[in-house]
Amino acid sequence: MLAVLRHAQFRRLFTAQVVALVGTGLLTVALGLLAYDIAGRDAGAVLGTALAIKMVAYVAVAPVISAVTDRVPRKVLLVFADAVRAVIAVLLPFIDQTWQIYVLIFVLQAASATFTPAFQSVIPSVLENEDDYTHGLSLSRLAYDLESLLSPILAAALLTLISYNLLFLGTVAGFVVSATMVVGTRLPRLVAADRSVPLLQRITAGARIMMARPVLRGLLAMNLVVAAATGLVVVNTVVYVRDLLSGSNTGVALALGCYGGGSMAVALLVPRLLTTVPDRTLMLTGCLIIPIGLAAVTSMLAIAPPAGLGWALLAVIWIVLGAGTSMINTPSARLLRAESSEQTRASLFTAQFSLSHACFLLTYPIAGWVGAATSQFTAAAVLTAVATLAAAAASRVWPASARAGIDMAMAGGR
């Protein structure tokens, strides 16, 4: 897998991704502490609102930015987005009102909604060989998982030496280094966009392509399966560990580590698996595993096992859920590459970015609000039903006969 780093362009882009992720991880910790300083007991509500703002920015801003900047060279766009994120990170330590947090977070996440799809859409042109691209996707998935595990540890270590406000400087450094790496990378020339097409049609182009093709309709349904599992883990792990298992903050970190570990293990195996197993088979296996894992969570909440058994069950289920999400997430960009051309690639990657995050606007409230208003059992049961229905829809709308079209497109380097 690491052999793909011999490609100089990809190596620089991957480095840019990693340092930006570390900076974002430090920002997450620092923002939580800043919210507590400003809002006290209401810090959770502030962070919840900030998370909602993030998702709205991802869903609403990404397609618009992609359409408006369709003639801007990708290098210019990526560097500009990093520059905006760095400026926002510089400003955050100086604010003292919750509304200021919301405004700056919206701008920062709008910049991220500009950077991420553009970044993802250039990788297929940099790694034209299909095996190299698959290895690159696995490395990218590992980077995301490692960031979620290591950034809180790094932040905790730094907080023993510095105040949390200085963590924002680490965020700034991450975005500056990311921009520097992009500046030094030779990116493929952008295919000129057809501006005769009305703006609204350009904004919705990627979504319309995804709705029109069976393979990508299947991917849309799979996004909801992933969101059901991720929503439950992200929102309710702390509740399960602290309230149901009487655990500590360290226990929360360990539980999340099990989820990330399951995801990383599959990401490492995906390049080898896809040499013998079709994308559809692997991804639908993930769609089968996730509802089973969520049903296991629901059962665990119903029987309320003793703490020792509860810990064991939680660890195993979280590993399984992490593995299932990675079976879907890691190969998904291969489908986008196979189903796109140079002209449509940016809009298609943007649509996937936007629509996949739209699923979280459904599953996060189910995990959080239903759990708080009724019971954790009800929230888990509802998410199990959502994942099951979405998995069934994915299997139905992406027929096995459509697989050959993907394989031919990949073999032809489309």
Does residue 334 surpass a pLDDT of 80? yes
Does residue 355 surpass a pLDDT of 50? yes
Q: Give tens-digit pLDDT for 74-93.
A: 889 999 999 999 999 999 88
Token pair 């029987």 is at which residue?
A: 303
Q: What's the whole-number mean pLDDT along residues 344-363?
A: 88
Vertex 391 angle, CA 224 and 48, to 5°:
20
Domains of the chain plus CATH, in order, are: 1-199 (1.20.1250.20), 204-414 (1.20.1250.20)
pLDDT value of position 408: 42
Specify the pTM. Answer: 0.81
Q: Give tens-digit pLDDT for 176-219.
A: 999 999 998 888 776 656 666 677 788 888 889 999 999 999 99
Q: Give tens-digit pLDDT for 135-183.
A: 887 788 777 767 766 766 677 677 777 787 888 888 899 999 999 999 9
Q: What's the whole-number mean pLDDT along residues 95-118?
A: 88
pLDDT value of position 409: 47
Does residue 413 surpass a pLDDT of 50? no
CA–CA distance, 390 with 239 (Å, rounded to integer)? 26
pLDDT value of position 410: 47
Q: From residue 349, give the alpha-carbon distance in Å to each of 25, 81, 150, 151, 277.
A: 23, 17, 27, 26, 24
CA–CA distance, 106 with 412 (Å, rounded to integer)? 41
Q: Give tens-digit pLDDT for 216-238.
A: 999 999 999 999 999 898 888 88
Question: Where do the H-state alpha helices sit in 57-198?
Answer: 62-68, 74-91, 98-126, 130-159, 167-183
CA–CA distance, 329 with 349 (Å, rounded to integer)? 13
Does residue 44 surpass a pLDDT of 60? no
Q: How confident is the model at residue 113 (pLDDT cuts 50, 70, 90)?
A: confident
